[in-house]
């Protein structure tokens, strides 16, 4: 009986971490966030990716280490001029499975460079698809985002 209780107690945090919903969800809270761009046909696991916002500003996103693997601290750099939209965070979630709240802040480190750090959690699958959204605030404090997807393989 004690062994069964210990197993249930230890497995609950893991299950909860894989199913917890993020605050910003592009489907459920569509009124809270406007999608303003897209990163088409780019694999951040292989190269930097660029995208353009409605105000004409162009951003480049870069992971410091490739490939990104679970449980390893990774730096993210977002380079571009803040004209009307100001990046403030990046939201990570599983494309097919909830992976908990994972939203590192983006801090301005130079005039046109924002930086953040993240660690992706490990779940039960060897290959995992991530849906990610770069969050921006406009001059009226409205939140907008640019989504992208990438795949991570556990070693």
Residue 72's CATH number: 2.60.40.3340
pLDDT over 70 percentage in the chain:
77
Find out whether 86 and 111 touch, Cβ atoms under 8 Å.
no
- Read off the DSSP letter of residue 45: T
What residue numbers bound the domain in which 44 lies? 2-153
* Closest CA relative to residue 68, chosen from 45, 84, 85: 45
Q: Between residues 53 and 98, which one has the greater pLDDT?
A: 53
- Domains in the chain: how many in total? 1
- In 49-142, where do the E strands start and end? 49-52, 58-63, 74-80, 85-94, 107-110, 113-118, 127-138
Mean pLDDT of 70-99: 91
pLDDT for 70-83, tens place per residue?
A: 889 999 999 999 89
**Predicted model pTM:** 0.76
> Residue 91 to residues 3, 30, 60, 82, 106: CA-CA distances in angstroms?
37, 15, 17, 19, 11
pLDDT at 3: 44
How confident is the prediction for the chain on average, in pLDDT? Answer: 79
């Amino acid at each position: 009986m004690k062994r069964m209780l210990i197993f249930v107690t230890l497995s609950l945090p893991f299950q909860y971490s894989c199913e917890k919903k993020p605050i910003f969800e592009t489907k459920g809270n569509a009124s809270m966030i406007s999608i303003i761009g897209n990163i088409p046909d780019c694999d951040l696991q292989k190269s930097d990716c660029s995208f353009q916002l409605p105000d004409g500003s162009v951003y480049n996103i870069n992971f410091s280490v490739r490939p990104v693997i679970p449980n390893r601290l990774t730096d993210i750099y977002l380079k571009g001029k803040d004209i009307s939209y100001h990046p403030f965070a990046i939201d990570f979630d599983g494309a097919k499975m909830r992976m908990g709240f994972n939203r590192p802040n983006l801090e301005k480190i130079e005039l046109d460079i924002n930086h953040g750090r993240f660690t992706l959690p490990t779940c039960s699958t060897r290959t995992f698809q991530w849906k990610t959204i770069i969050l921006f605030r406009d001059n009226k404090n409205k939140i907008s985002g640019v989504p992208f997807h990438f795949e991570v393989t556990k070693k």
